[in-house]
Amino acid sequence: MKYLSLIVLLVIMASCSSPKKTDEESPSLKDEVMNVHDEVMPKMGELRKTQKELLALADSSAADSLVAAKYTELARDIEAANESMMAWMRNYDPNYEGTPEDVKEYLQTQLKDIEKVKTDMLQSLEEGKKALKD
């Protein structure tokens, strides 16, 4: 019984004395950045499929240049959204180092950037799908 009390006391002391993470060390901002990325990354295949369908319609609508131009423009918007995701992924550094303030600023900028990518991807996908239904 004496040893059990000692073990319980040690566990309590260890849990109370564990160092607290600062905001800069906290994974929450980094997690938020990656959560936005992970939310839209699965849409990449759907974007490419929609883009191909739009380009096929543009080709088959060659007789009506206005319709073909509309489909081509929507396909370009999807391509731009796709490229913005690829560029973000190439440039994102998950191991960015610097002062805690620098890291926080970097992650805030990355969050802003990936949210813009998300908006562009979802909007271009929605507009492309809508055009395919028309």
* Residue 8 lies inside a defined structural domain of this protein: no
Distance separating alpha carbons of residues 47 and 53, to the nearest angstrom: 10
Q: Check pLDDT > 70 for residue 65.
A: yes
Tell me how many degrees the CA angle 32-37-41 measures, rounded to the nearest 5.
155
Cα within 13 Å of Cα(127), Cβ side = 17
pLDDT tens for 35-56 read: 999 999 999 999 999 999 999 9
Amino acid at 12: I
Task: Report in angstroms the alpha-carbon separations of 23 from 45, 113, 114, 131.
Answer: 35, 21, 21, 45
Q: Is residue 88 part of a domain?
A: yes
In a domain, 63, yes or no: yes
Q: Which domain holds residue 55?
A: 25-133
Residue-wise pLDDT for 67-117, tens only, equals 889 999 999 999 999 999 999 999 999 999 999 999 999 999 999 999 999
In a domain, 70, yes or no: yes
Domain membership of residue 1 (yes or no) is no
125 belongs to a structural domain: yes
Residue 111 lies in a domain: yes
- Total tally of structural domains belonging to the chain: 1
